[in-house]
Amino acid sequence: MAAPLYTTDSGQLWHAGKILVATVGLPARGKTHLSHALERYLRWLGVKTRVFSLGDYRRKVLGRPGDLPSDYFSVGEKSAETEALRLKILEGFDETVMQFFDEEGGQVVIYDANNGQQKGRYALRERFGKKETTTGAKISIMFLEPICNDPAIIEANVRAVKISSPDYFGWDQEKAVQDFYKRIEDHEKEYETIENPSFPYIKLINVGQRIVVNNIQGYLQSRICFFLMNVHNRGRTIYLVRAGEALVEHLYKADADLSSLGWDYAEELTNFASALRRNAAESAIERAAGGDITPGGHVPGHGPGEEGRILEVWTSPRKRAAHTCAFFAERGYKVVERSQLSELNPGVVDGMTAEEIKQRYPDEWEKKFQEPYSHRFPRAESYHDLSVRIEPVIFELERATNDILIVAQSSVLRCLLAYLQGLKPHEIPYIEVHEGELIECSPTAYGVKTTRHRFWDPEAKRSERDEIFFRQQRLGNTFYDDDEDDEDDDEDDDGSATRNAAAARKEDRDAITAAKEGHLEVGVDHAGVPIQQLINTFKSTKLNANACTQGAPR
């Protein structure tokens, strides 16, 4: 598995050719959802991909259904005027697809339409299969047919997606549902499933319960097939958040534990995430009771087939990330450590400042700014390497039916956000992931809705801690007054996370004491030095000494 294998200025994999993926199926079977999920994945691979929706094109050119001839959507014979209008729309739509291939250098088009009749699929192959792009490349055509006979899933799709489309703007909800079911019945009269063994196609039956693959050829078609084996369109939410503050920041080899502030952050994150989900569920129940929400809405644990959807927490084995999840584990949430979620390895520049890197590795520093996505320092990882490493996690995310909270470092979260938002690989190093921000991602039929929730102000918290410390220092006290009885208070607490937080506060105090007693070159004259700098220096010295003793690489 590799993602992406390589990057090019054109956004094309030179060995994969041009591909048109045409959707097939009755309305409300998840074609649009699959189309946009596939587009997101291929763009993350670095392949120039776009979804073209025939319905969206028709609305753009002709307006809403009220402006169309009465027999435009009807089955069977149509008037000559209507047939001419439909042909005009189809030809214009095909032209926009070819413009993407020819003028924009596109490599994969996802042709989102019903294509429910065999003669129409043959015509589509004739139109595109015989065409050559301006570069002389042939277009390979494959079909994607989602089949669903589960009434609950169909109703969820109708209510969550279809009746909210511009076709039903201003309609009464129940009348819109009835009208759309009538449209489905009309299509069923002429619908023909794919049976031609010469066609390359993938059939997804009942949201992946059964999959049929036929005549798939080539590298990129195989990647498309493998991805589609892992997706579904059930509602779920993915949360992304950074790990808490460590005792030693910016030192990969140290694998330092959380500081006392990091433990406070972990507890606040647990409280906030739990309250966020609880409030969303309660709000959804109230809106459903008032008729303001459809059963197919993406609400935690309240859509068809997703009652009682729970939250799983995924994290890396790195101490600061794993321990940020400790309070979730205490409250009974399932916490899973995944080694692929470990932060990007900085290699030889571990622990160096920007100035130190520029002085010691000037050539590498220049290369980093020329190719920030693919460059790696000696014995380090690049963002490309990290993307390859986390691809199994992406497939696990697509398969997951529960809500997922991922706690990791910003480098990992950038790669995951790029995938979820359909960003290009070269954009990954510049994605902002702020400390104290919970990013909520909700996959929908037309993409992923992203909301950022601020639950922690790191600068204010650090300033508050420093102010308390220096005030106590001026008074001649070593420790915070409100922490004096921590050990006694925690003796009756069975929670390991709570005990670890108390231990972290004690370690902080030990570090401060060591600094004040002259174990480090930090004295009374350094009263302006922030507490975290004292802690970092003390811990870094101790951890590096331990690493040397154990023969760890330097």
Let me know if 112 is a catalytic residue.
yes
> Taking a C-beta distance cutoff of 8 angstroms, is the pair 382, 345 a contact?
no
Model confidence pLDDT, tens digit, residues 298-319: 444 433 334 457 999 999 999 9
Mean pLDDT of the chain: 81
Between CA 372 and CA 384 the distance in angstroms is 10
The whole-number pLDDT of residue 269 equals: 98
Q: How confident is the model at residue 16 (pLDDT cuts 50, 70, 90)?
A: low
Question: 238-244+264-449 belongs to which CATH class?
Answer: alpha beta
* pLDDT above 90: residue 155: no
More confident site: 523 or 334: 334
Q: Can you give the residue ranges of every domain in the chain?
A: 18-228, 238-244+264-449, 459-549
Q: Which helix (H) or strand (E) holds 452?
A: strand 447-454
Average pLDDT of span 381-397: 94
- Per residue in 317-354, pLDDT (tens digit) is 999 999 999 999 999 999 999 999 999 999 999 999 99
Exposure string for 490-505, b = 16+ CB within 10 A, e = fewer: beeeeeebbbbbbbbb
Q: How far apart are CA 48 and CA 40, in angstroms?
A: 10
Q: Is the pLDDT of residue 464 over 80?
A: yes
CA 493/CA 9 separation, integer angstroms:
58
> What pLDDT band is residue 175 in, cutting at 50, 70 and 90?
confident
pLDDT at position 166 is 73
pLDDT at 480: 44
User: What is the pTM (predicted TM-score) of this model?
Assistant: 0.79
Q: Can you name the residues that pair with 52 across neighbouring β-strands?
A: 111
Measured at the CA of 146, the angle between CA 91 and CA 175, to 5 degrees, comes to: 80
Q: Which residue has the higher pLDDT, 468 or 410?
A: 410
Q: Poorest-confidence range of 331-335, 443-447, 502-506? A: 502-506
Closest listed residue to residue 542, CA positions, set 509, 526, 518, 520: 520
H/E run at residue 136: none
Average pLDDT of 451-475? 85
- Tokens describing residue 261: 């502030």
**551, pLDDT greater than 60:** no
Are 18-228 and 238-244+264-449 equal in CATH topology? yes
Enter the tokens of residue 448.
């992923």
pLDDT at residue 528 tops 50: no
Q: How far apart (Å, rounded) are the C-alpha atoms in residues 223 and 206?
A: 21
Instruction: Provide mean pLDDT across the span 208-230.
Output: 92
pLDDT-based confidence at 2, cuts 50/70/90?
A: very low
Calpha distance 75→186 (Å, rounded): 6
Q: Which regions of 459-552 does DSSP assign to beta strands (E)?
A: none
Q: Which of 9, 71, 112, 257 is catalytic?
A: 112
Q: Indicate the Cα dihedral angle 250, 251, 252, 253, nearest 10°.
A: 180
Residue 352: per-residue pLDDT: 92
What tokens appear for 446 in the block?
């037309």
pLDDT band at 176; cut points 50, 70, 90: confident
Asked if residue 22 has pLDDT above 90, the reply is yes
* Cα dihedral value 380, 382, 385, 386, nearest 10: 100
Q: Is 471 helix (H, G, I), strand (E, B) or coil?
A: helix
Architecture of the domain whose range is 18-228: 3-Layer(aba) Sandwich (3.40)
Residue with tokens 């002709």: 62
Task: Please check the confidence at residue 531 and state whether its pLDDT lies above 60.
Answer: no
* pLDDT band at residue 424 using 50, 70 and 90 as cut-offs: confident
Residue matched to tokens 């010691």: 360
pLDDT for residue 379 is more than 70: yes
Top-confidence residue, 533 or 136: 136
What backbone phi and psi angles, to 5 degrees, belong to 113?
-155, 175
